[in-house]
Structure 1
């Protein structure tokens, strides 16, 4: 299979593989070209053209996802070509927005736990109360990833 740093050459183009786990363990992005203005990154489901991506726990891990977003942020002004939705003009800014969103969600999860939520379902009901209930199954995957991340942080492992 494809892995970090592999290069795919086809039709006169080169794509460099960038491992971006987190949405799922095997998520990959592909950097096309090298000149800002001509370069782009195909992000699959790691960064979407609208909304935010689910961290599909247990396969996806939030720590990995945050690391992947930091790597994508380093790409700066490359155009984002997501797996869903419209293209976005600046990978660095978009990744920074995603990182801030994740930090805000983590804070909401902490607050829900402090307020007495004791199950992932209760956290979803608290944190995602303003989100259409049809999206709650995906939210539950992300909440489980967030809870695992917070547990991992507390244990220091």
Structure 2
């Protein structure tokens, strides 16, 4: 059995996935889940690296993703495309929240909270601590991206 270690930073800086090419399987740990989407932790996680890792994983063209949590994914291409589209949509929503006044909410924590309340209003509040981490990473990405 062959095993390839694939650096897939984004969720965290040290995220790795394991490709089993003979079985056409990718073990993704927390980078890709069988349900929901991954948090991009802050300050360790990085949205740009996350998007790049999704592209790298999609480029493998595997038949199955075996995530660290949740069920096995039998349509990896669709899930990876969804993850990418979801993250880009969230970035657009964060930018819109900033443009609509969240940027003026006060200190960094107040800005994060204003963005979470607007962008993640449809997400159960017990998920908001993870959303705050992702918003911090999204803000860092938006500030660094011209």
TM-score in terms of structure 1 length: 0.85
What is the deviation of 1:149?
0.3
Partner residue, 2:10: 22
CA contact (8 A) 1:75 1:91 kept: no
What is the deviation of 1:51?
0.3
In the aligned structure 1, how far is the partner of 2:137 from the partner of 2:98? Answer: 15
Partner residue, 2:31: 46
| Coordinate RMSD, CA, aligned | 1.0
Partner residue, 2:123: 131
Displacement over 3 Å in runs of 4+: none
Partner residue, 1:142: 134
Partner residue, 2:72: 87
Structure exhibiting the larger radius of gyration computed from Cα positions: 1
Partner residue, 2:97: 112
Give the secondary-structure state (helix, strand or coil) at the position aligned to 2:3.
Answer: strand
In the aligned structure 1, how far is the partner of 2:13 from the partner of 2:20? Answer: 22
More helix by share: 2
Give the secondary-structure state (helix, strand or coil) at the position aligned to 1:139.
Answer: helix
Higher relative contact order (CA 8 A, sep 6+): 2
In the aligned structure 1, how far is the partner of 2:90 from the partner of 2:38? Answer: 13
In the aligned structure 1, how far is the partner of 2:63 from the partner of 2:28? Answer: 11
In the aligned structure 1, how far is the partner of 2:14 from the partner of 2:83? Answer: 19
CA contact (8 A) 1:75 1:92 kept: no
CA contact (8 A) 1:77 1:89 kept: no
Number of residue pairs matched by the alignment: 139
TM-score in terms of structure 2 length: 0.91
Structure 2 residues without counterparts, runs of 5 or longer: 104-110
Structure 1 residues without counterparts, runs of 5 or longer: 1-12
Give the secondary-structure state (helix, strand or coil) at the position aligned to 2:2.
Answer: strand
